[in-house]
Structure 1
């Protein structure tokens, strides 16, 4: 008699999951373009094609919404940035530039907003992830065995490959991507050579 009920329940569950994905994808898309503080729940709702009430029902709160959306972006960024083989400076610089060309401006704006208690943890995660990526990609090139010296060299490599370096080269100095990549490679290779 109720043969249609399991089908309807499954269809409802699938529709709810599709709505959930649209809401979090809309929030992640907005985070790619704007500061978190500049994004309203109405913007997310419009992007997902739902009401603000649906956004809150799905996410629970604005804080939770952006936390999940940020985690989604981190996973996407990690996949993008770990494409280079460890020790390959050219590939590392290319993947950083792929990332910075797509997200660099919003990352720089987010860094300017890091005094916001909701943004500060996001910035800290980003810094830690960047350092991990630098160590993963460029660590094999470091020959120094002393921990304090290795940490200093790693600090220099983190600075050389940072989003602010990209901003200086691309936005402030107006260098082409090719020129900017060559400059970042020069800095990284100079740091590595000076410690061999």
Structure 2
């Protein structure tokens, strides 16, 4: 006869299940904040709306994150993590530019709106400052294996930041009215020129 599960094993299983449920609730809350921000083109999000969308109470939202500011700080970390995972791998120039254009196609207009509000809203300013820093770090990491030796690294990174910037996408896609393939081709041409690959 086989012995039954030990009490410690059951307790361990229950604790792991609870921790997984807590983590899933946190992710649902963070996704709700992200989605509401995109839909409303604003950071003026009401916690009751987050709670409704997530299927929890406002008290539960606050229990997870401590305060409204805590919710937004965690949501910013969550979104930055998503963006970093989707942006491509070091040395893959074509993949990096394609992933970046894909991102801009999805949330570029929202990002432009947020940049227009950063002077009036400290939460938005924290987000846009973080976004700028993340973009520069991404450029440095992704293009490091292919930076030209003839150009100082800081100069090359500055030029690559401009070539891959949101406003570069906006100028080509929204102001010029080019299609997505043309925008990707032109951004890639700018990157290749900086890298000496034209």
Structure 1 length-normalised TM: 0.81
Q: Give runs of aligned pairs for residues 1-196 of structure 1, distance below 5 A.
A: 10=15, 16-81=22-87, 83-86=88-91, 88-115=92-119, 116-144=121-149, 149-193=152-196
5+ residue gaps in structure 2?
1-6
| TM-superposed deviation, 1:105 | 1.7
Kindly indicate whether the alpha-carbon contact (under 8 Å) linking 1:85 and 1:91 is maintained by their aligned counterparts in 2. no
| TM-superposed deviation, 1:38 | 3.0
Distance, in Å, in 2 between the alignment partners of 1:63 and 1:85 is 34
CA RMSD of aligned residues (A): 2.8
| TM-superposed deviation, 1:36 | 4.5
Distance, in Å, in 1 between the alignment partners of 2:196 and 2:150 is 15
When residues 85 and 144 of structure 1 are mapped into structure 2, their CA distance, relative to the original with a 3 A threshold, is: closer
Structure 2 length-normalised TM: 0.80
| TM-superposed deviation, 1:160 | 0.8
| TM-superposed deviation, 1:144 | 3.4
Kindly indicate whether the alpha-carbon contact (under 8 Å) linking 1:84 and 1:95 is maintained by their aligned counterparts in 2. no
Q: Matched residue of 2:189: which SS?
A: helix
Kindly indicate whether the alpha-carbon contact (under 8 Å) linking 1:26 and 1:44 is maintained by their aligned counterparts in 2. yes
Kindly indicate whether the alpha-carbon contact (under 8 Å) linking 2:90 and 2:145 is maintained by their aligned counterparts in 1. no
